[in-house]
Chain A
Amino acid sequence: MAYSDKVLEHFKNPRNVGTLDKSKKNVGTGLVGAPECGDVMRLQIEVDDATGVITDAKFKTFGCGSAIASSSLATEWIIGKNVDEAATIDNMEIVEELALPPVKIHCSVLAEDAIKGAIRDYRIKNGLPVEEEVKAH
């Protein structure tokens, strides 16, 4: 199976690879997937408490090229967005942007879950309300 140019581009030049300081109160971490499933994604956000805007995001991903591209794209999209806005990103937007084939849809689901996980962690750390959203994949 050939990869789309966009997947290749993100894979070759992944944006925002790295680690944020978990001990900071305004950093939220989402860790999703499992080594046994062949994919683990960690996405972190740093939020400006006053405005609720995501000022930085970093990821590390164990997974295929599509998973790496999905997480790279996710960090790119959420930086500069308000937390509430970022929480609405849907995996299908990632699928469309990266032209992922059906077998790679779950890689984008992982990215959506990682964003939501990071936001949830940030909210819990800061005593903010967490909406229990359960989405069926």
Chain B
Amino acid sequence: MSKRMIYLDNNATTPCDPRVVEAMLPYFYENPGNAASRSHPFGWVAEEAVDYAREQIAQLIHVDPKEVIFTSGATEADNLAIKGVYEMYKRKGNHIITVRTEHKAVLDTCDHLEKLGAEITYLDVQNDGLIKLSDLEAAIKPTTILVSIMWANNETGVIQPMKEIGEICQKKGVLLFSDATQAVGKIPIDPKATGVHLMAFTSHKMYGPKGVGALYVSRKNPRVKVTAQIDGGGHERGMRSGTLNVPGIVGFGKAAELARLEMAQDAERLSKLRDRLQEGLMALEETVVNGNEAHRMPHVANISFKHVEGEGLMMTFNQTIALSSGSACTSASLEPSYVLVSMGLGDDLAHSSLRMSLGRFSTPEDVEEAITLISNGVIHMRELSPIWEMYKEGIDLSKIEWSEH
């Protein structure tokens, strides 16, 4: 990778901020201790570092440090929250409500529980990606023990009305879990003020290292308990055993502190860059933005370029720009993005989508170059596209009898 790459895939993962790396370095060789070693200074130093990081993280989301459980990432935190609540509360009921556009870490976990006897309701989303609050309210029943709704969607950046969702759950007396992986560190998040009782997030989406994340578990009003999913030495107040990843946690803490201090200015700068990127690309004809633009993360744009297939399009520039597509051709399953399809986009539009996610290290030059390269790519691919030609000739594509495989 000697050539300059433009990185527009910050929703997949963010670069680790050099200030974070610097904070981590002393915890590899100089301070090698195990935070659970209570009998010598190496352990104490490690424990102190972990405590400090826990505080930095707690401060970012306005919770008590004791309410932060470290995990290996958001996937594990999602599993711990959903399986942990189910196991802990299944005597009260077996019904869980979630949404079709959740991350696979939530959907597959629910799937797993369904096989074990849970009843899962999957809420639909509207065309803009938002759930209907009345659907949620109607879905809650006496056996409901958990509502699991992501704060912001990884593909579209659409932000769910968490406050209103929190009020409904409060009124009905059910626990609310949110996968806030894409939101924490990017926009102000306050689970307590929002009525969220459990919340998953991860370090590597907020300029920290990979392999470390956290689950917030409310300890007061209400006091929530989850059954451990990883048994062992009883770390993390028994909720998650395993020697703590001290350097990772230190980095996560530093990343949280930087996010707290720089979030507002980052978000303001990135939303302008994103708007410029979107406006530049929307100058192309037959182009649509996917997801509610008013309720959207400041750094994300998901756009479909009609009659162009996403992977082919990416091939025109992916030696230079990193981003992702909802096209089936990029997925191992050969299915287009279920998130976009759940929003009622035709499969054809899902195949034609690109997700662009900016980050702290994105520059105006990146955006200008991306506009040029993507626009040229779209124009080139349309010249190669039989369905673009048909569209231009006024042929109604929906009337053609396609030979589907």
Residues of A within 8 A of B (CB): 3, 11, 14, 17, 19, 31-42, 60-65, 67-68, 103, 106, 109, 113, 117, 137
Contact = CB atoms under 8 A, between A and B. Distances in A.
Contact of B404 (A17, A31, A37): A37
B389 to A, nearest CB: 6
Nearest to A34: B402
B403 A113 contact: yes
B210 interface: no
B388 interface: yes
Contacts, number: 96
A67 B403 contact: no
Contact of A64 (B312, B346, B347, B386): B312
B112 to A, nearest CB: 26
B329 A38 contact: yes
A113 to B, nearest CB: 7
Interface stretch (B50-58, B288-296, B303-311, B357-365): B303-311
Contacts of B334: 103, 106
Contact of A11 (B315, B347, B348, B389): B315
14 contacts: A11-B312, A31-B403, A33-B402, A33-B403, A33-B405, A34-B404, A35-B346, A60-B384, A60-B385, A62-B384, A64-B309, A67-B312, A103-B332, A103-B334
Given A11-B315, A36-B348, A38-B336, A61 B385 contact: yes
B381 to A, nearest CB: 8
Nearest to A11: B315
Contacts of B329: 38-39, 63-64, 67
B384 A40 contact: no
A39 B309 CA distance: 8
Contacts of A39: 309, 329
Contacts of A32: 403
Interface in B351-401: 351, 383-389, 397, 400
B328 interface: yes
Contact of A31 (B309, B336, B386, B405): B386
A119 to B, nearest CB: 15
A62 B404 contact: no
A40 B386 contact: yes
A62 B385 contact: yes
Contacts of A60: 384-386, 389
A106 B315 CA distance: 18
A17 B403 contact: no
Contacts of A35: 307, 346-348, 351, 387, 397, 402
Contacts of B311: 64-65
A57 B231 CA distance: 65
In this complex, the member of A14, A17, A60, A137 whose beta carbon has the largest number of chain B beta carbons within 10 angstroms is A60
A64 to B, nearest CB: 4
Contact of A40 (B327, B330, B402): B402
B336 to A, nearest CB: 6
B363 to A, nearest CB: 27
Q: For the complex of A and B, list the 7 residue pairs with the smallest distance between their C-beta atoms, beginning with the closest.
A: A34-B402, A64-B329, A35-B348, A38-B351, A42-B386, A60-B386, A36-B347
B145 to A, nearest CB: 38
A37 B387 CA distance: 13
Q: Which of A19, A32, A64, A103 has the most CB of B within 10 A?
A: A64
Contact of B346 (A3, A19, A36): A36
A106 B334 CA distance: 10
B403 A62 contact: no
Residue of A11, A31, A35, A63 with most partner-chain B CB within 10 A: A35
A37 B341 CA distance: 13
Given A38-B329, A40-B387, A63-B329, A106 B405 contact: yes
